[in-house]
Amino acid sequence: MTLPRRTRMAVTAVVAAAVIALAVWCLPAVGACCAQLVRQASAPARVTPLEDVADADHVAAVEVSNYPMLGAEGSRVTENPAIVSEALGAFGSASFSRWDGEAARLLLEGLFPPPTMTGGYFSSLVFLDGSDEPLATVSYDSDQGIYLRRNGCIYVADDQQALQGLLDDLVVRARERSDEPPAADGSRTWWYPDDWEGR
């Protein structure tokens, strides 16, 4: 059955309008994705979490997060000099290599988010300065391992085993010691996020 000419023209116009609308919707996101992939490709081949050696002198605290081990709060913060020094010694100068393939996948997930899923195991370690501003964030999940985001680019840790072992150990210590009573001067080894912000 052949549609009348006027009907065919109307259908064509509707399809064309839909295609144009889809292109207008997609172009900014696709453009941003392409720009980020170019940025990733031109990023340094290898980096350390702290961009400058001098940044280590500005680290005042460390925030450790984990799902599901740290409960509803999700994280703990410590300014304990020994723990901060331990984290800096392991993570501050650790080597991370540019991870182009993973960056492309994560960018696509940003454009087309996957269905929300429960479960899994996720951790992170954040170096904080004296104003609680993040200087660097190292993350771990069971799919990607230990990785670093900087300026939107993705880097993977060269020594996965050593860093994951310490991160897991910090999470366990944070969970086990966060309910200890404060010292006489009010200080704690590990703080809940709300207590840390209100200290």
Q: Are residues 114 and 29 in the same domain?
A: no
Spatial distance between the Cα atoms of 159 and 90, rounded to a whole number of angstroms: 10
Q: Are residues 90 and 155 in the same domain?
A: yes
Angle at the Cα of 131 from the Cα atoms of 157 and 54, rounded to 5 degrees: 50
User: Based on the structure, what is the number of domains in the chain?
Assistant: 2
Spatial distance between the Cα atoms of 105 and 151, rounded to a whole number of angstroms: 17
**Full residue range of the structural domain in which residue 36 is found:** 1-42
Spatial distance between the Cα atoms of 82 and 87, rounded to a whole number of angstroms: 9
Confidence of residue 35 (pLDDT cuts 50, 70, 90): low
Q: Among 59-68, 113-122, 150-159, 173-182, where is mean pLDDT lowest?
A: 113-122
Instruction: Evaluate the omega torsion of the peptide bond into residue 68 and state whether it is cis, within 30 degrees of 0.
Output: yes
Q: Tokens 């994280």, residue?
A: 75
pTM as predicted: 0.74
Q: Among 111-115, 128-132, 149-153, where is mean pLDDT lowest?
A: 111-115
Q: Are residues 24 and 53 in the same domain?
A: no
